[in-house]
């Protein structure tokens, strides 16, 4: 948009609109310049014209106002002190002009005296019709408009426009865009109205090109830059983040430097100056710090003085981790203060004040520390308030509180209550219970000020998996149904090789008692498969229809017990056209071990599983979805045989530990294992069916293919050319995982922290080591076919089947279908010896949905194991 700038009195035309400049002098419409006796702009002083300055002593007879449209003349006259009967003077006229300018209601005004008749000519400031923002891409209208003080239907004034321009520029500076400019323009409309247009040139984001540090001798520039939030631009700076200049971060970085030196013993350290210089092109900043490191100190005498009689000062002193002679570290003092405060709170002294008294000894370069616990009353909970919940019922929050009215205050219980309420995931992140003084010195009020978050989830997703290929899923879930803390959900998933449907309901406090109830009803169709080279080959199909009922209760604060009952109806089948033969010629084909394997033929059929289970779960994790600290142990025992046709006992266990290490790295150790024992007659067959055994591989065991670990049967074709069996894995004619009755699996993983830029992208890389094994299965009967076997299609008595006979019983020639080459079967992998893999992986919360990629290599493996280096999984929401 074209327009003039302040200081020029012009009218320009652009795009069919007349635009009056905002950044210049008066906006005068229809007034010849020679006729103006005196004028001002926005209250600025303006010299009187020759008439106003004439040294006449005229008495004002009348005062008239010309040009008023919205304002009444009497209203305008009330702004000035000129009155009929007064003597007209230049000073009085000047003061009247100043008074009119101070109102900011007029774009131009003048006063002239014609023999006692005072005439005020003025033009009212226009009314703003609308405010338009142009050129803003990084900051949307909803971020800028609330900061603008002008609004539609307000009177337009240039001073307010200048103030709004400054506010918009300040918003861009906060975003690190110091080159941003704002040009205000007006579009003149009828009835003295204008559209106010802010033309914004956002400019590039100002980066920090360089950080210089002067005066540091003990630590390198790189060491000190690592302590700062602000980072220099450079290679991979998009992963570091925080490369934009921010004055607030500049002050914060100075504090970070001081904290770093104080932890290293330099108690006299100070930042002499911190200067940020904008480069001439306004694109980058160069920051220079001047520091004084000072002398390094050690701890001298350290003691605790308690004014609370319940605490023994000498005993508390011995419990401190600060030792005389250690290098001075301000953080250890803060930790000691926090620990003593928490200890006092545990005994009910909520308002105990712990302060450290430091005495510097320059001669010996030591610091004597005295931690003083001030006297305070024992405190009791007066009241528990829950505020901010509009949907969630009060009882949902209160039942997670570990303290109630009348209880002795305890900081550990307050912290536990905060964690339990936060774990509901109904409210804001970083929820904390606030503590306020009660009506008496020994009373305290606990406030749970919550901000409710959406708890309903409606998800439609599509994705691609290296296991399932293309998959579709839809689900709906409400985690806080009717504000009662109940969860209801329904989901459906479809892919080429699996389909499932599930309905679920759970209530953590059924009938307002400390009991949880859960119900699931489901249907799952699954096609088991293997890969022969790059070809995927379905081995068997399993359909499961069932329901599960769960009832849980707390054993202790950290241990939870869950009893369950599951009823499944399973049907295992194979493709009869592939695996069935009519060897007897009676027209009734049966599963042929030569084609399917004895282990698979034995698993076919329908069966009912009635399973009773019990789970004990111990957890101190700080977050159940992405933990960084705490432990979890789970034990599960199941028995199938309370009715049904399947009988077995199965036990599983898992343990995990998470803790932060090395400045925001998260290290975790996880282990799990299981064993299943079948009951009943085996008749030479394994007492646990193929579909009930454990399987191990991708994705649980990275570095191996799906079901790539453990007992399996490999079918190797005989090469008549070489006279040997073909052992290359991609040329096998059969590769069937049998599963195992026992397994173990362990993970050691280190999650690597990245800069804020990578965090905003949702990237979480890690390095890991996995170790495990799957074993213990009855050795199956293997087959060796010494010569090629021809398969025919036979039609006899109206029944079509497959057979190895060239002719039907009635002498009719059968139709050749295919030839099975000579082969041998090898049973491999049934060993408890560990398999070990190492690798790197990345979790990415991408715009397309969650994405996981892993590169892993097997360090140790056993014959028959199927390795896989690269795996990924991605989905999307729309």
Q: Are 357 and 389 in contact (CB under 8 A)?
A: no
Output the pLDDT for position 6: 33
> Residue 400 gets which letter from DSSP?
T
Pick the closest to residue 501 from 526, 521, 480 (CA basis).
Answer: 521
In the three-class reduction of DSSP (H, G, I as helix; E, B as strand; rest coil), residue 304 is classed as strand
Hey, which residues does 552 pair with through a beta bridge? Answer: 516, 562
What is the distance of C-alpha 217 from the center of its chain? 40
Backbone angles phi, psi at 250, to 5 degrees: -60, -45
- pLDDT digits over 302-323, tens only? 999 998 888 888 889 888 888 8
Rounded CA-CA distance 370/375 in Å is 15
In the three-class reduction of DSSP (H, G, I as helix; E, B as strand; rest coil), residue 262 is classed as helix
- Whether residue 160 is predicted with pLDDT greater than 80 in this model: the reply is yes
In the three-class reduction of DSSP (H, G, I as helix; E, B as strand; rest coil), residue 421 is classed as helix
> Residue 687 gets which letter from DSSP?
S
Task: Share the mean pLDDT of the chain.
Answer: 83
Q: Are 379 and 349 in contact (CB under 8 A)?
A: yes
> Residue 48 gets which letter from DSSP?
-
Residues 6+ away with beta carbon under 8 Å from 14? 1, 2, 3
- pLDDT digits over 426-463, tens only? 888 778 899 998 898 889 999 999 998 888 877 676 65
Most confident of 57-61, 324-328, 722-726: 324-328
- Whether residue 386 is predicted with pLDDT greater than 60 in this model: the reply is yes
Angle made by CA atoms 480, 423, 674, in degrees to the nearest 5: 105
Output the pLDDT for position 529: 61
9-18, 102-111, 222-231, 765-774: the lowest-pLDDT one:
9-18
78-92, 151-165, 807-821: the lowest-pLDDT one:
807-821
159-173, 327-341, 352-366, 682-696: the lowest-pLDDT one:
682-696
Alpha helices in 107-246 (DSSP H): 141-144, 158-174, 221-227, 237-240
- Whether residue 469 is predicted with pLDDT greater than 80 in this model: the reply is no
Residues 6+ away with beta carbon under 8 Å from 497? 468, 469, 526, 527, 529, 538
Output the pLDDT for position 420: 87
Rounded CA-CA distance 679/681 in Å is 7
Most confident of 408-417, 677-686, 802-811: 408-417
- Whether residue 837 is predicted with pLDDT greater than 80 in this model: the reply is yes
193-201 vs 127-134, strand pairing mode: parallel
Edge-to-edge strand ranges of the sheet holding 815-820: 799-803, 789-796, 815-820
Output the pLDDT for position 44: 39
- pLDDT digits over 220-233, tens only? 998 998 888 888 88
Output the pLDDT for position 586: 64
Rounded CA-CA distance 38/696 in Å is 94
* 520-529: long-range pairs with CB below 8 Å, 24+: 520/547, 520/548, 521/546, 521/547, 522/546, 522/547, 522/548, 524/498, 524/499, 524/500, 525/498, 525/499, 525/500, 526/497, 526/498, 527/497, 527/498, 529/497
DSSP string, 223-234: HHHHH-SS----
Between 45 and 308, residue with greater pLDDT: 308
Output the pLDDT for position 47: 41
Between 6 and 67, residue with greater pLDDT: 67
DSSP string, 799-829: EEEEES-SB-TTSPBPEEEEEEPPEEEEEE-
Tokens of 30: 């229809």
Alpha helices in 663-778 (DSSP H): 756-761
Backbone angles phi, psi at 137, to 5 degrees: -115, -40
- Mean pLDDT for the stretch of residues 290-299: 93
Rounded CA-CA distance 583/590 in Å is 8
Position 50 confidence tier, pLDDT thresholds 50, 70, 90: very low
Rounded CA-CA distance 337/664 in Å is 23
Position 587 confidence tier, pLDDT thresholds 50, 70, 90: low
Give the helix, strand, coil percentages of the chain, each rounded to 5: 15, 45, 40
CA 140, 146, 148, 151 torsion: positive or negative?
A: positive
Output the pLDDT for position 371: 92
Q: What percent of the chain is modeled with pLDDT above 70?
A: 86
The pTM assigned to this predicted structure is 0.65
- Whether residue 236 is predicted with pLDDT greater than 90 in this model: the reply is no
Output the pLDDT for position 703: 92
Position 857 confidence tier, pLDDT thresholds 50, 70, 90: very high
Output the pLDDT for position 128: 92
Pick the closest to residue 27 from 99, 97, 106 (CA basis).
Answer: 106
Rounded CA-CA distance 355/522 in Å is 60
Question: Before 421, cis peptide (omega within 30)?
Answer: no
What is the distance of C-alpha 352 from the center of its chain? 36
Between 244 and 657, residue with greater pLDDT: 657
Backbone angles phi, psi at 204, to 5 degrees: -75, 160
Tokens of 522: 């489901």
Output the pLDDT for position 846: 60
Hey, which residues does 686 pair with through a beta bridge? Answer: none
- Whether residue 32 is predicted with pLDDT greater than 70 in this model: the reply is no
- Whether residue 196 is predicted with pLDDT greater than 90 in this model: the reply is yes
Provide the Cα torsion 595, 596, 602, 603; round to 10°.
-160
| Inter-helix orientation angle 411-423/330-346, to 10° | 90
- Mean pLDDT for the stretch of residues 340-356: 88
> Residue 511 gets which letter from DSSP?
G
In the three-class reduction of DSSP (H, G, I as helix; E, B as strand; rest coil), residue 299 is classed as strand
In the three-class reduction of DSSP (H, G, I as helix; E, B as strand; rest coil), residue 767 is classed as strand
- Mean pLDDT for the stretch of residues 698-717: 89
Strands (E), 98-180: 106-114, 117-124, 127-134
Cα distances (angstroms) measured from residue 828 to each of 199, 715, 782, 836, 863: 75, 11, 11, 18, 6
Output the pLDDT for position 2: 37
> Residue 202 gets which letter from DSSP?
-
- Mean pLDDT for the stretch of residues 2-16: 31
> Residue 440 gets which letter from DSSP?
S
380-387 vs 443-449, strand pairing mode: parallel
- Mean pLDDT for the stretch of residues 96-106: 89
């Amino acid at each position: 948009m074209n327009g003039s700038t302040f200081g020029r009195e012009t009218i320009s035309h652009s795009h069919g609109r007349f635009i009056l400049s905002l950044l210049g002098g008066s906006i005068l419409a229809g007034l010849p310049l020679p006729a103006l006796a005196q004028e001002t702009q926005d209250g600025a002083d303006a010299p009187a014209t020759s008439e106003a300055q004439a040294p006449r002593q005229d008495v004002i007879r009348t005062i008239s106002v010309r040009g008023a449209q919205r304002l009444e003349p009497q209203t305008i006259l009330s702004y000035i002190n000129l009155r009929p009967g007064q003597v007209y003077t230049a000073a009085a006229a000047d003061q009247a002009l100043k008074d009119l300018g101070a109102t900011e209601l007029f774009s131009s005004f003048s006063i002239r005296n014609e023999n006692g008749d005072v005439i005020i000519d003025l033009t009212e400031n226009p009314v703003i019709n609308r405010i338009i923002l142009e050129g803003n891409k990084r900051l949307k209208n909803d971020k800028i408009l609330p900061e603008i003080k002008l609004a539609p239907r307000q009177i337009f004034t240039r001073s307010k426009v200048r103030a709004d321009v400054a506010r918009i520029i300040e918003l861009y500076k906060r975003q690190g865009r110091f080159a941003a400019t704002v040009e205000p323009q007006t579009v003149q409309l009828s009835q003295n109205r204008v559209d106010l247009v802010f033309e914004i040139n956002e400019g590039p984001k100002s980066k920090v090109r360089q950080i210089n540090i002067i005066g540091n001798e003990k630590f390198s520039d790189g060491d000190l830059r690592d302590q700062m939030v602000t980072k220099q631009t450079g290679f991979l700076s998009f992963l570091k983040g925080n490369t934009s200049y921010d004055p607030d971060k500049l002050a914060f970085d100075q504090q970070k430097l001081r904290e770093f030196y104080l932890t290293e013993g330099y108690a006299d350290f100070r930042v002499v100056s911190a200067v940020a210089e904008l480069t001439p092109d306004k694109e980058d900043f160069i920051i220079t710090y001047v520091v004084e490191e000072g002398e390094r100190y050690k701890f001298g005498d350290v003691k605790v003085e308690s004014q609370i009689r319940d605490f023994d000062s000498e005993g508390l002193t011995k419990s401190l981790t600060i030792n005389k002679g250690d290098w001075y570290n301000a953080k250890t003092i803060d930790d000691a203060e926090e620990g003593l405060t928490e200890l006092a709170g545990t005994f009910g002294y909520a308002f105990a004040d712990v302060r450290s008294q430091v005495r510097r000894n320059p001669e010996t370069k030591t610091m004597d520390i005295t931690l003083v616990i001030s006297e305070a009353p024992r405190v009791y909970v007066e009241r528990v308030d829950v505020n901010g919940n509009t949907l969630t019922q009060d009882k949902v929050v209160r039942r997670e509180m570990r303290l109630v009215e009348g209880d002795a205050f305890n900081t550990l219980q307050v912290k536990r209550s905060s964690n339990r309420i936060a774990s509901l995931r109904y409210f804001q992140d970083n929820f904390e219970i606030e503590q306020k003084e009660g009506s008496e010195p020994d009373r305290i009020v606990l406030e749970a000020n919550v901000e409710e978050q959406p708890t309903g989830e409606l998800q439609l997703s599509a994705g691609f998996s290296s296991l399932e290929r293309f998959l579709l899923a839809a689900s709906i879930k409400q985690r806080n149904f009717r504000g009662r803390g109940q969860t209801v959900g329904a989901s459906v998933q479809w892919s080429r090789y699996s389909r499932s449907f599930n309905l679920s309901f759970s209530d953590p406090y059924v009938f307002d008692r400390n009991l949880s109830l859960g119900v699931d009803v489901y249907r799952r169709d699954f096609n088991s498969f293997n890969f022969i080279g790059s070809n995927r080959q379905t081995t068997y199909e399993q359909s499961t229809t069932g329901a599960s009922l769960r009832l849980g209760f707390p054993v202790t604060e950290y241990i939870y017990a869950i009893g369950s009952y599951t009823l499944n109806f399973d049907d295992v089948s194979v493709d009869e056209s592939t695996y069935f033969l009519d060897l007897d010629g009676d027209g009734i084909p049966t599963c042929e071990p030569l084609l399917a394997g004895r282990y698979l033929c034995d698993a076919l059929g329908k069966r009912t599983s009635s399973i009773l289970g019990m789970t004990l779960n111990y957890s101190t994790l700080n977050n159940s979805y992405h933990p960084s600290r705490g432990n979890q142990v789970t034990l599960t025992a199941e028995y199938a045989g309370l009715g049904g046709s399947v009988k077995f006992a199965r036990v599983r266990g898992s343990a995990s530990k998470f803790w932060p290490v090395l400045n925001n790295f998260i290290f975790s150790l996880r282990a799990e294992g299981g064993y299943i024992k079948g009951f009943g007659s085996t008749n030479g067959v394994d007492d646990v069916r193929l579909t009930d055994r454990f399987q191990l591989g991708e994705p649980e065991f990275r570095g191996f293919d799906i079901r790539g670990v453990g007992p399996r049967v490999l079918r190797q074709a005989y090469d008549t050319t070489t006279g040997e069996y073909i052992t290359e894995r991609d040329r096998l004619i059969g590769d069937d995982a049998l599963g195992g009755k026992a397994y173990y699996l362990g993970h050691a993983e280190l999650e690597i922290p990245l800069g804020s830029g990578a965090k905003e992208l949702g990237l979480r890389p890690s390095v890991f080591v996995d170790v495990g094994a799957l074993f213990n299965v009855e050795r199956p009967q293997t087959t060796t076919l010494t010569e090629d076997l021809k398969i025919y299609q036979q039609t006899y008595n109206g029944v079509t089947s497959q057979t190895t006979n060239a002719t039907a019983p009635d002498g009719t020639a059968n139709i050749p279908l295919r030839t099975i080459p000579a082969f041998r079967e090898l049973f491999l992998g049934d060993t408890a010896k560990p398999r070990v893999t190492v690798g790197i992986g990345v979790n990415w919360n991408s715009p397309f949905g969650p994405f996981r990629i892993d590169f892993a290599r097997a360090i140790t493996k056993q014959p028959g194991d199927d390795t896989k280096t690269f795996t990924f999984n991605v989905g999307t929401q729309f």
